[in-house]
Structure 1
Amino acid sequence: MKLKSFTAFLLLAFLASCSGSDKAKNESAKEDNVPTVKVEQVSEQDVDQIQTYTATVEPYLINNISAQMSNRIKAIYVDEGMRVSKGQKLVVLDNVNTDSYQLQISTAQAQLSQLEADLNRAKELYRIGGGTRQQVEQMQTQVTAARNQLATARRALRNAQENTVLTSPINGVVTARNYDPGDVTGQLPVLTIGRVQPVKVVINVAETEYAKLRKGMPAVMTFDTYGDRKFTGVVSLIAPTVDTNTKTFGVEITLPNADGAVLPGMFARVTLNFGTARHVVVPDKAVVKMQGSGNSYVYTYSDGEVHYVQVQLGRRIDNSYELLSGVESGTYVVVTGQSRLANGIKVKLAK
């Protein structure tokens, strides 16, 4: 009887020890399943409010070199892309029209001489009583008309002579050539000359930034052609109206371009600094970007739990991001271990 009791006691003790061991194993397993994360506390900083835009370089001024009337081109001395100087001969046109204008002048001069002689005779007859005042006045009117006709013929000849040789009104670059020697000029200009010292770029700025702009504020530009070299221009014109479709307005920036390095058609990246603002800055490794949606999130940590918070990103600053909204200063954010996280779960901090 005593042997049976002792055997039963041993069995109960064994079962109790097994139960305790299983419970400890379960607790250990639960502990192992809690994700381990690293966190950092974020704070507000002064952040430069820099915006970057893209644009294409345009000539500061454009002149179309055209003939006043249709004419045949005898010679063109420049081609697209060439630099020209003010007053430089660019195009020579056929001067066939000048002969006809010269003939018109000779005819008008002969008519005027004849009418002036007739006027003098009419005045003499009137003086001696052989004519009337009305005849003198009529002859005077004819002489005046003849003088006007001669002046018109001379002006036409002068215009034709000026139109025969076309010169550049500015220093610049040939941006377009529409004809070749032997062609007859039409509606298109023969050449287009662009002034490239200075040049300009026109960017489209968001309506929300209108109040931050001012004439004369600096703009920094870079061009793929020149790598990291920076060019500085100024805001010279701010459009007074907003495009209703894009909710943007045009801003013209003038670049002095003293060395002529920047040419029309180049692709420019324009940076404007709108001052500074106090915003929360978080490490870039804290930001989780949702592919396809364009949304960004961070995990915040408090009292052993993490929570999924959507944020609005501003500028990237080295290894950090400016946050425009979503997280307050002093918050702890997860910087490693996000892959195992879900909203509201318990976590433990890495030592």
Structure 2
Amino acid sequence: MTPTLRSYAILPLLAAAVTLTSCRQPLPPAAAVPVVPVATVGLATLSNDLSVTAEFRPYQAVDVMSKVAGYVRNINVDIGDQVRSGQVLATLEVPEMQSDVSRAKAGVAAAEANVATAQTAIDRAQAQTNIAALSYQRIQAVAMKDKGLVPRQEVDVAQSRQLEAAAQLASAQSTLQAAQQSGLQAQQEYARTQQMFEYTIIRAPFAGVITKRYANTGAMIQAGTASQSQAMPVVTLAQDSPLRLILPVPVTDVALIRDGQMADVVVASLHRTLHGTVTRSADAISTSTRTMDTEIDVPNVDGSLIPGMYAEVHLHLAARPDVLSVPLDAIDGLGTSVEQAYVVRDGIVHLVTVTTGLQTPSRIEVLSGLRAGDEVIVGRHTGLFDGEKVQPQPAGYEANHT
């Protein structure tokens, strides 16, 4: 075989070898399907609690002042004493007030005597008036019956005596009214001096504990009026049952505050958990702290709680039993006008608009847009788009009580 013919014979073999070699090369790989973490929409009981540290304060506290100036004759209480409402705390010595009371009492007696004298004068004037009227009537009757028998002058004299007696009666009545008015003023003055003398006995305005004592026996106490800037209290009284807790509620939770809400009060120093209720709130937000003062009354029957102690307050703001919920990171645009979730159905991503409700630190209530059993993508949603094919993988979230 000639070289040329040999070459033509080899060419088909080379072509077949090239064809077989090209068939054995691998095909280019298909596009990889992304794996996404998902959580299942399910029922859960959600509750929104607020934890705030607060300080116990007395329900009410006051510096007990004296209404009048005087020297302390005796003081009956000291720091730490429990007192009842109306209990005598101290007694002042004010001798001039006793004189004022005696003087006012004598004034009442004098006024009563004047009233009695005026009443006697009225009785006498009334009797004279009656006699004068009777005499005038008799003379007038005789003069009318037998004309000329009684001179006209006698009739006129009798009439003038009647008028004079009536005037004296009216004057006596006016004197009695003046005496009665003076008597009323004397009684009022006596009551005033007695009341001022009562102020020398300083009493507790409410039940509580003495937290400070300023005065001792013999000390000079000034009257506790606005013009007496140097006035010194006798004691400080604080009501310690119940106690107040004032919570600075953040502006984000103000709308959820209601009177009567329950709160757990944890007193770490006593290893106790107490229960209280929201009793009142400021209904105004502080511009400096953006919080609203909210008060909780805590019973302190045994006196174990001391004003100034700190407590951790867990305030139960809202609760939703058995509601649809998802993890917080399943919702895009949370808190905006457009909230969305990425739902995986049959391996395809669907972008769904949702409406949310109560939010807790880990989960959020779903009011519309999702149904129980839906798988929603959690975590970052960057790069995902509606209609994309994905491979869902459980992320370990469960609908639980949060």
Q: CA RMSD in A?
A: 5.5
TM-score under structure 2 length normalisation? 0.56
SS of the aligned residue for 1:166 comes to strand
The answer for the alignment partner of 1:222 in structure 2 is 265
Q: Is the counterpart of residue 323 in structure 1 residue 359 in structure 2?
A: no
- Give 1:167-178 correspondences, 5 Å limit: 167-173=203-209
**Separation in structure 1 between the aligned mates of residue 189 and residue 306 of structure 2, nearest angstrom:** 44
**Separation in structure 1 between the aligned mates of residue 341 and residue 306 of structure 2, nearest angstrom:** 45
- Give 1:173-184 correspondences, 5 Å limit: 173=209, 184=222
SS of the aligned residue for 1:230 comes to strand
Change (3 A) 1:175 1:84: same
**Separation in structure 2 between the aligned mates of residue 280 and residue 175 of structure 1, nearest angstrom:** 54
Give the drift of 1:167: 1.0
- Give 1:1-351 correspondences, 5 Å limit: 1=7, 2-17=9-24, 20-21=25-26, 23-24=27-28, 26-27=29-30, 30-31=31-32, 34-45=33-44, 47=45, 52=50, 65-68=64-67, 71=69, 74=72, 83-92=82-91, 95=94, 98-99=97-98, 101-102=100-101, 104-105=103-104, 108=107, 111-112=110-111, 115=114, 119=118, 122=121, 132-134=168-170, 136-173=172-209, 184=222, 185-187=224-226, 190=233, 193=237, 195-199=239-243, 219-225=262-268, 229-233=272-276, 255-262=298-305, 269=313, 271-272=315-316, 276-282=320-326, 287=330, 299-306=342-349, 312=356, 314=358, 316=360, 321-325=363-367, 327-334=370-377, 338=379, 342-344=383-385, 345-350=388-393
Percent identical: 19
Change (3 A) 1:141 1:38: closer
Which AA in structure 1 matches 2:88? K
Give the drift of 1:233: 4.1
**Separation in structure 2 between the aligned mates of residue 229 and residue 306 of structure 1, nearest angstrom:** 51
CA displacement, residues 304-336 of structure 1 (integer Å, 9 cap, x when unaligned): 24456677463549xx6242446421111346x
Q: Is the Cα contact below 8 Å between 2:46 and 2:360 reproduced in 1? A: no
Which AA in structure 2 matches 1:44? L
Q: Is the Cα contact below 8 Å between 2:63 and 2:237 reproduced in 1? A: yes
Which AA in structure 2 matches 1:330? G
The answer for the alignment partner of 2:136 in structure 1 is none
Q: Is the Cα contact below 8 Å between 2:70 and 2:221 reproduced in 1? A: yes
Q: Is the Cα contact below 8 Å between 1:218 and 1:235 reproduced in 2? A: yes
Q: Is the Cα contact below 8 Å between 2:47 and 2:360 reproduced in 1? A: no
Q: Is the Cα contact below 8 Å between 1:56 and 1:264 reproduced in 2? A: yes
**Separation in structure 2 between the aligned mates of residue 291 and residue 120 of structure 1, nearest angstrom:** 91
Q: Is the Cα contact below 8 Å between 1:218 and 1:232 reproduced in 2? A: no
Q: Is the Cα contact below 8 Å between 2:42 and 2:373 reproduced in 1? A: yes
TM-score under structure 1 length normalisation? 0.63
CA displacement, residues 104-155 of structure 1 (integer Å, 9 cap, x when unaligned): 32662574477368558857975997x9435543543344234323322321
Which AA in structure 2 matches 1:169? P
**Separation in structure 2 between the aligned mates of residue 347 and residue 341 of structure 1, nearest angstrom:** 14
**Separation in structure 2 between the aligned mates of residue 224 and residue 324 of structure 1, nearest angstrom:** 36
SS of the aligned residue for 2:191 comes to helix
Q: Is the Cα contact below 8 Å between 2:241 and 2:301 reproduced in 1? A: yes
Change (3 A) 1:296 1:197: farther
SS of the aligned residue for 1:86 comes to coil
Which AA in structure 1 matches 2:187? A
Q: Which of 1 and 2 has greater Rg? A: 2
Gap runs ≥5 in structure 1:
none
Gap runs ≥5 in structure 2:
1-6, 129-164, 395-402
Which AA in structure 1 matches 2:325? V
**Separation in structure 2 between the aligned mates of residue 88 and residue 324 of structure 1, nearest angstrom:** 60
Q: Is the Cα contact below 8 Å between 1:111 and 1:146 reproduced in 2? A: no
**Separation in structure 2 between the aligned mates of residue 100 and residue 175 of structure 1, nearest angstrom:** 35
Give the drift of 1:162: 1.8
**Separation in structure 2 between the aligned mates of residue 305 and residue 73 of structure 1, nearest angstrom:** 92
**Separation in structure 2 between the aligned mates of residue 228 and residue 238 of structure 1, nearest angstrom:** 28
